[in-house]
């Protein structure tokens, strides 16, 4: 059994590819079930955010090409077009990666907080769907503990700039007085709410919210003292808005080049600033070709983030050392998990063989009239148990030492040496505690 990871992120793939591979939140339960049904996939969790699509699984002889093929089928893409953008990790490297991701060491913005919640969501969905078993339960419990240590023991998040805040910063650089610019939010998700709070903190007063579901727009706008715009008026409102922030879950553009072009003349040369932090992108990329219109997507925001970078990088160095220590510690834990069934099997086998020998000896000696059966059985049982303990003492100590040192190959060889056919993995499904409920999080920056 191996822990393996396969995926793509903002470092390995452009937004054009990531938006095709992205799995909608409501599709995640079915997606992990499809992955779990592939041959050799024992347990699996799927993480899909605006910046990454990664799957982590317990491998029992799975064909990686099958997993890539399934990802491709979801995106209607040939596996050959996806594979160059994928990273493939196993064992300690896979563990290290999920530790780093959850601790926000692999995020577009170091130290952002949203990814931790997203990983918890991915784990919860897989656990509720039944695709998480004892090994991934153990791994993700450890993952969240590592992320908590990073937050509490380093300053990685002290100067965090989220993508939402980066959007506000970028708008403030374009307009001298952001508080006077009409701002329109399309969508009412977590990222949009964070951005609105950022604009509000900069003094913006003319804020509008438009969402397909009017009730959700009203719910978001109320605490921020923002106005609500009916969704079917979003295009005509481009005559008024100077800043448009888009953060929806739509699969197709909610504003096209034709929509924006139709309102340009009415703006009389005033610049229009559009920020698309959705994946898939919800603003037609062709909009960027229009004069006096400035369109930025999530990758542009990532390149624009610079505030607090030096301090976050210094804290990241400390966090990386912490993660490395935790990977080593988990490797030992994993080895002990593999050792436990071997030790149990070895003890049971030795005691069964000793018991069989006692039965044969008792039968022979009773037949010969040497002594009564009860006396013989007691004496021989004591002898068999004593010999079993003495003969197994050194091998068991050596196997335990291999576990402490993380020598999985040595453990497997020991199992073969003693003729033990046992899966080197703890599979205590019956007494494994249920996964804890976890709070949901917002979008990764």
Indicate which residues carry an active-site annotation. 50
List residues bridging with 341 in a β-sheet.
none
Distance separating alpha carbons of residues 364 and 285, to the nearest angstrom: 89
On whether the CB atoms of residues 45 and 31 are closer than 8 A, the answer is no
Residue 246 has which token pair? Answer: 């888009």
In this structure, what DSSP letter does residue 9 have? E
CB 123, CB 435: distance < 8 Å:
yes
Q: CA 250 to CA 283: how far, in whole Å?
A: 10
Of 277, 293, 317, residue with least CA distance to 242: 293
Q: Outline where DSSP puts E strands in 74-128.
A: 87-90
List beta partners, residue 59.
2, 41
d(CA 228, CA 211): 9
Encode 265-274: b = buried (16+ Cβ within 10 Å), e = exposed.
Answer: eebeeeebbb
Q: How many angstroms separate the CA atoms of 18 and 7, rounded?
A: 10
- How far is C-alpha 364 from the geometric centre of its chain's CA atoms? 63
| Helix or strand (DSSP H, E) at 324 | helix 309-367
CA distance linking residue 173 with residue 170, whole number of Å: 5
Query: What is residue 442's three-state secondary structure?
Result: coil
């Amino acid at each position: 059994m191996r822990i393996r990871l396969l995926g793509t992120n903002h470092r390995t793939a452009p937004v054009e590819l990531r938006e095709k591979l992205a799995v909608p939140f409501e599709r995640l339960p079915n997606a992990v079930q499809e992955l779990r049904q592939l041959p050799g996939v024992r347990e699996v969790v799927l993480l899909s955010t605006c910046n990454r699509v990664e799957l982590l699984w317990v491998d029992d002889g799975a064909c990686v090409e099958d997993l890539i093929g399934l990802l491709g089928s979801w995106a209607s893409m040939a596996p050959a077009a996806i594979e160059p953008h994928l990273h493939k990790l196993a064992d300690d490297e896979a563990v290290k990666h999920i530790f780093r991701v959850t601790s926000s060491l692999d995020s577009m913005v170091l130290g952002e907080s949203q990814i931790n919640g997203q990983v918890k969501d991915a784990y919860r969905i897989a656990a509720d769907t039944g695709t998480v078993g004892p090994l991934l339960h153990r791994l993700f419990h450890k993952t969240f503990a590592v992320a908590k240590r990073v937050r509490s023991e380093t300053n990685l998040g002290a100067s965090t700039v989220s993508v939402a805040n980066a959007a506000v910063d970028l708008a403030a650089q374009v307009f001298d007085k952001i508080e006077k610019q009409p701002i329109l939010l399309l969508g009412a998700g977590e990222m949009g709410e964070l951005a609105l709070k950022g604009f509000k903190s900069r003094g913006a007063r003319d804020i509008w919210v438009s969402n397909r579901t009017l009730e959700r727009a009203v719910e978001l706008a109320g605490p921020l003292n923002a106005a609500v715009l009916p969704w079917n008026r979003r295009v005509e409102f481009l005559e008024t808005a100077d800043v448009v922030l888009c953060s929806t879950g739509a699969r197709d553009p909610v504003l096209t080049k034709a929509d924006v072009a139709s309102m340009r003349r009415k703006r009389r040369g005033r610049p229009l600033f559009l920020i698309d932090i959705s994946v898939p992108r919800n603003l037609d990329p062709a909009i960027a070709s229009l004069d006096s219109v400035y369109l930025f997507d999530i990758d542009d925001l990532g390149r624009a983030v610079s505030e607090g970078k030096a301090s976050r990088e210094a804290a990241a160095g400390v966090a990386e050392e912490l993660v490395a220590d935790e990977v080593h510690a988990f490797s030992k834990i994993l080895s002990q998990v593999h050792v436990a069934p071997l030790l149990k099997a070895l003890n049971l086998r030795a005691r069964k063989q000793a018991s069989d020998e006692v039965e044969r000896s008792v039968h022979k000696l009773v037949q010969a009239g040497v002594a009564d059966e009860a006396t013989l059985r007691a004496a021989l049982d004591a002898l068999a148990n004593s010999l079993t303990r003495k003969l197994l003492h050194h091998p068991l100590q050596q196997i335990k030492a291999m576990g402490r040192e993380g020598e999985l190959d040595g453990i497997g060889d020991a199992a073969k040496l003693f003729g033990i056919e046992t899966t080197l993995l703890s599979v205590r499904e019956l007494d494994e505690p249920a996964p804890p409920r976890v709070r949901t999080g917002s979008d990764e920056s």
